[in-house]
Amino acid sequence: MKHVGWITGTAAAVLVAVGALTYAVAEDGGSSDTPAADSADAGFARDMAVHHQQAVEMSYIVRDRTDDKEVRLLAYDIAQTQANQRGMMLGWLDLWALPKVSSQAPMAWMGMGDMPSAGEGSLMPGMATNSEMKKLEGLSGKQAEIFYLQLMTDHHKGGIHMAEGCVDKCTVDVEKRLAQGMVDAQQSEIDLMADLLKKRGAKPRS
């Protein structure tokens, strides 16, 4: 029950966003231009939806483990933004009548389907492992803040790599614009997180 406030607001925003972006996609291409199931457009939407979901989960975790206003605000912004974007991407897959899961390996749409996985839930670049997620849940205060900022910095770097792939390979203009927006916003947040880590006597892991 502790996440109800965030979830309710996010759900409402997703409904609005999906409606708006559904219209935009329809205007952008039309049924004759629907991406194929193995296209970069579909692959990016599926993979980034999974990638975003973990960022939302990490942000919920740290929100409950620190009273620091700066970190809580960042976590709130990331959770809201990525939950909304995830809703958009899943909405596009529905609009295109394409499956939300694929038998292809993650990142296959980028030609990286044979990429070795870090395992333990880390399916794509930057994703935290199950052990790292469990560790975050066990921390509090400054330790939780630092580990969250380090994990999210890695997560954003992986997300930027994927989004740049969509900018290069996707064909639906509105999706390419969203991907470029992700690159710009997440790089800005990486810079902010570097400053927040420095204030805490820490630095990014890589």
Q: What is the CATH number of the domain that holds 8?
A: 1.20.1260.10
Is there a contact between 167 and 156 (Cβ–Cβ < 8 Å)? no
Domain of residue 120, residue span:
4-199
Q: What single-letter DSSP state applies at residue 121? A: T
Looking up tokens 């483990």 gives 65
Q: What are phi and psi of 120, to 5 degrees?
A: 55, 40
Is 117 inside any structural domain?
A: yes
127: left (phi over 0), alpha (psi -120 to 50) or beta: beta
C-alpha 38/C-alpha 102 separation (Å) is: 8
The set of residues, in sequence order, having a beta carbon less than 8 Å from that of 84 and lying 6+ positions away, is 10, 13, 14, 17
**How many domains does the chain contain in total?**
1
User: Tens place of pLDDT for every residue, the chain, 206 residues?
Assistant: 344 444 434 444 444 444 444 444 444 444 447 999 999 999 999 999 999 999 999 999 999 999 999 999 999 999 999 999 999 999 999 999 999 998 888 999 999 877 665 567 778 989 999 999 999 999 999 999 999 999 999 999 999 999 999 999 999 999 999 999 999 999 999 999 999 999 999 999 97
146 vs 197: CA distance, rounded Å: 6
